Structures are given as structure tokens and as C-alpha cells.
Amino acid sequence: MGDTIGPSSFTILATGQIECAQIPSCTNAYLKFQFVAGEDWQLLDGLEEGITQAARVPEGRDGVLVWNFPIDITYKTTNAFGWPQLVVAVYGLDIFGRDVIKGYGCMHLPMSAGRYNLTLRLFRPRSASALQSFTSWLTGMPAEFSDPKFPSYGEGREVTRVQSGGHVKVQINLLTKDMDVFGYVDGSGRDMATVTQM
């Protein structure tokens, strides 16, 4: 062993779209997304962050906001730790026409190659008191996370109080390259009937 020099890293490619969202009492919104990955991960291609268009719910239909925003990203890494997460923040218009946060969501990219329909449930910070909730409604500045990557952190979440509501649907197709050469088994080559898929 060891006479041939194999690849020094493996690559994952994720393509898909941020399809739509359904948020109660929100008829006009746009979404900001960003990919957060660990230190060992290097972006090879694609945009790590972006903003969709502002979408409006059509008259007389269910409240679905459709963005159809394409996602295309390729990462290279030597270590599966720090697997990329997709963090989204949905901003809508309040009755005075100002941008207010409607919800944050976060999900890891899938770990096995395949096609997935992901549902990111949204949550947003709660105001500390009823008075603060009223003044933030009046001034159009509800509580937001100061760090937009915060939903991807595993630490520091215990001090946040949030309320949830609404979800964003994302479709992702995942491809991996050279993981088997590295010795990784991600379960994508196995009989799917025995694996619980989403």
C-alpha cells in the first residue's frame, strides 16, 4: 500500500433551488441565504451567499411565496467535520412597508449523495418584554440576531428565546467525489429500502 498517491481531499457538489416558503400572515418577502462550513472546508465554485427576489403571494391562492432561486455550490475538504450548513433569513414587509425579519432557518446539507426535499422551519427571536414587543412593532425594528450565522452555531443557543412559524422548502441534489478513496462510507450506495430517507 502507499505506492500510488491518491487524491488529497474529497469534494461535494450541491445543486438545487430555494423553492418557496409559507409563512403565516406574510404576503411579501425575500430571503437571504448563506452557506457556513468548517475551517477545513474550501469553496471551489459557486456563491456562498445571496439574496432572492422579493416575492408576493398571488391573490386568491394559498399563501405560498415562490422564489425558485438556484443554488450551486462546490466544496473541497479533508475532514467531514464542519459539514456545510445552509442558513436562511426571510425578511418581509410590515404594514408600513419596512423590512422586518420573519424567520431564520438552518439545516446541514445532506451527507449522502441523492436528491432531497428539505423543509427548513423558521424561527425568530422574541422580544424581552411586552413593551419592547410594542415599540419594535411601532419602529419596524423587531429583535434580530446580530450575527447572521448564529442559527448555525451549536453554542450560545441556550440564552435565546424564539418563536417559530412558517417554513422554507429547498430542493438539493448532492454529489460526492473521492469519498471512498478517503475511506469514507456515506451510505449512498446501499439498498435504499433499508434506509430511512427524507
Partner 1 sequence: MAELHIIGQLTGAFGFPSQNLFCKWGVSAGRSWELLEGLDAGQTQLDLAPDGEPVVWAHPLDLHYACRGLAGWPKIFFQVWCQDIHGRNDICGYGFCHVPTSPGQYELDCPTWVPEGTLGERITAFFLGGNPRLKYEEVVYMPGDRFRLNTVASGIVQLRLGVMVKDFERNHVQFG
Assess 140 for contact with partner 1 (CB under 8 A): no
- How far CA 85 is from CA of 29, 34, 179, in Å, comes to 22, 8, 19
Decide if residue 78 touches partner 1 (CB under 8 A). no
Q: Using CB under 8 A, which of 29, 52, 91, 110 touches partner 1?
A: 110
Minimum CB distance to partner 1, residue 97 (Å)? 26
Please identify, using beta-carbon distances, which residue of 56 and 190 lies nearer to partner 1: 190
For partner 1, which stretch binds (CB under 8 A), given 55-63, 89-97, 129-137, 161-169?
A: 161-169
User: Cβ closer to partner 1: 100 or 103?
Assistant: 103
Strand partners, 31: 90
Out of 8, 53, 78, 81, name the contact with partner 1 by CB under 8 A. Answer: 81
Binding segment (CB under 8 A) for partner 1, from list 27-35, 60-68, 119-127, 132-140: 119-127
143 class by beta-carbon count within 10 Å (0-12 exposed, 13-18 middle, 19+ buried): middle
Long-range pairs of 45-53 with CB within 8 A, sequence gap ≥ 24: 45/72, 45/73, 45/74, 46/71, 46/72, 46/73, 46/74, 47/72, 47/73, 48/73, 52/18
Q: Which of 48, 108, 115, 128 is the binder for partner 1 (CB under 8 A)?
A: 108
Q: CA-based Rg of the chain, rounded to a whole angstrom?
A: 19
**Coil, helix or strand for 32?**
strand
Backbone phi, then psi, for 118, in 5-degree steps? -100, 145
Enumerate binding residues for partner 1 (CB under 8 A): 24, 38, 79-83, 85, 105-108, 110-112, 114, 116, 120-123, 126, 151-155, 157-158, 160-165, 182-188, 190, 194-198
